[in-house]
Amino acid sequence: MPKIFSGVQPTSIPTLGNYLGAMKNFVTLQEGNDCIYCIVDEHAITLPQDPVEIQKNIHNLAALYLAIGIDPKRSILFIQSEVPCHAQLGWIMQCVSYMGELERMTQYKDKSQGKNAIPAGLLTYPPLMAADILLYHTDLVPVGADQKQHLELTRDLAERFNNKYGEVFTIPEPYIPPVGARIMSLAEPTKKMSKSDKNKKATIFTLDSEKDIIKKIKSAITDDEASIRYDREQKPGVSNLLDIYSLCSGRSVDDLVSAYQGKGYGEFKTDVAEAVVGMLKPIQEKYNNLIESSELDEVLDEGAEKAYAIARKTLKDTEQALGIGRIN
C-alpha cells in the first residue's frame, strides 16, 4: 500500500487553513494507504515557545487529530520528539544539505526577516522535515502549497544521498489539493491565513466559537464590485470565501457562483459562516469528549512505538550506507 506521512506543528490550535489545506486530506487518504501522522514539536521549537503552552498545544493537537477522524486502528499518530530517529536523521540530512539551498527557502527568509539573532534551527528546519518524511519510505505527503518548496528540497536531498551512497530512500511526491491549498487571510486576502497573524479577524481557528466564526466571516475583506464570481487576482477576498464555502459544503465553486448570481455579499457571508460552523461543529463536539480522556496517551504511546520500529530500521540502513557506527 502507498505510504503517507505528514505533520502539523503544535504552535497553536490549527487554523481553518491547516484543516482545509492539509488535515482534511489526512483523513480521506486513510482509505487505501498506510498513513503516519505526526505532531512535529521539534519543528515548533525552531522559534521560541512557552513550555507550558507547547505542552498544552501538543495535547490539544492529538485530540484534534482524532476528532477530525484520524483512526488510530488504521493510522499511526505520534509525537516527533518521542522518536529520536527524527533528530538523528535530521542531523544526517543537514550534512547532505548545502547552506545556499537552505538560505533560499522562502519560509526561512520570511521567518528570519528583521531578526538580528536568527536561531540556526530556522535554517535547518527543512532537513529535519526531510528526515521526517524519508524515515518512513513515504510515497505521498499531503500538505498545503506553502510546503511545496520544502518537499522539492526533500526530494533533492534524497536523490543526492541515493546517488552517492546507494538506494536507501524512497523519493516522495507532494499531495497538494486543487482547492484549499492556500486559504487566505480574511483581513488581507492576498496573504496566507496564518496561526501567528496579529490581526484577530484574519484567522479562523478550528476550535473557534460559532459567534467568533460568524463575526470573522462577516468582517472578511471583499471588494466593492458587489458580484460573486471567482477571480483570484481581481477578487481575492470573494474567491477565498468561495473556496472556503466550497470545501465546507461539498458544493463546487461553479455551482456556488451560479447559485449566488445577483445576491449580495451580506447573504453570501451568512451562508459561508453557516457552512464553516456546520463543518466544524461535529469536530468540536468530538474534540470536547476526547480532550480529558485517557485514550489520547494510549494512542500516542502505541504510535511512538510503531513509528520507532519503522524509523530505526531506515536510520540503521542510512548509517550503514554512510559507514558510521559499527557495521554488523
User: What span, in angstroms and rounded, lies between the C-alpha atoms of 292 and 29?
Assistant: 27
Coil, helix or strand at residue 282: helix
Closest CA to 65 of 324, 319, 299: 299
- The correct pick among 132, 208, 243, 271 for binding ligand TYM (CB under 6 A) is 132
Is 239 marked as binding a ligand?
no
> Residue 326 CB, nearest distance to ligand TYM (Å)?
30
Side chain identity at residue 319, one-letter code: E
User: What span, in angstroms and rounded, lies between the C-alpha atoms of 4 and 29?
Assistant: 8
Per CB under 6 A, which region of 13-21, 237-245, 279-287, 313-321 contacts ligand TYM? 13-21
> Residue 211 CB, nearest distance to ligand TYM (Å)?
23
Q: In what order do the strands lie in the sheet with 34-39?
A: 76-79, 34-39, 3-8, 140-142, 173-175
Of 142-201, which residues contact ligand TYM (CB under 6 A)? 143-144, 146-147, 150, 181-183, 192-193
Known active-site residue 195: yes
Is 266 marked as binding a ligand?
no
Per CB under 6 A, which region of 16-24, 162-170, 254-262, 282-290 contacts ligand TYM? 16-24
Is 17 marked as binding a ligand?
yes
56, 73, 148, 195: which one is catalytic?
Answer: 195
CB 75, CB 44: distance < 8 Å: no
Closest residue to ligand TYM, based on beta-carbon distance:
21
Q: C-alpha 186: how far from its chain's center?
A: 19
Per CB under 6 A, which region of 14-22, 115-123, 243-251, 262-270 contacts ligand TYM? 14-22
192, 201, 235, 269: which one is catalytic?
Answer: 192
- The correct pick among 29, 63, 129, 204 for binding ligand TYM (CB under 6 A) is 129
Binding to ligand TYM by residue 269, rule CB under 6 A? no
CB 119, CB 43: distance < 8 Å: no
**Is the Cβ of residue 115 or residue 263 nearer to ligand TYM in the bound state?**
115
Q: How many CB atoms lie within 10 A of CB 74?
A: 11
> Residue 69 CB, nearest distance to ligand TYM (Å)?
16
User: What span, in angstroms and rounded, lies between the C-alpha atoms of 93 and 89?
Assistant: 6
Alpha helices per DSSP H over the chain: 16-18, 24-28, 41-44, 51-68, 85-96, 99-103, 106-112, 120-123, 125-134, 148-165, 210-218, 236-249, 253-259, 265-290, 295-322
**Is the Cβ of residue 171 or residue 227 nearer to ligand TYM in the bound state?**
171
Half-sphere exposure of 45 (CA within 13 A, CB side): 12
Known active-site residue 313: no
Is 204 marked as binding a ligand?
no
CA distances to 200, 202, 210, 244 from 213, in Å: 11, 11, 5, 12
> Residue 7 CB, nearest distance to ligand TYM (Å)?
4
- The correct pick among 4, 27, 36, 40 for binding ligand TYM (CB under 6 A) is 40
Known active-site residue 192: yes
Residues in contact with ligand TYM, total (CB under 6 A)? 25
Of 68-87, which residues contact ligand TYM (CB under 6 A)? none
What positions carry a catalytic annotation? Answer: 111, 192, 195
Q: Please give the residue ranges that form the binding site for ligand TYM (CB under 6 A).
A: 5-9, 17-18, 21-22, 40, 43, 129, 132-133, 141, 143-144, 146-147, 150, 181-183, 192-193
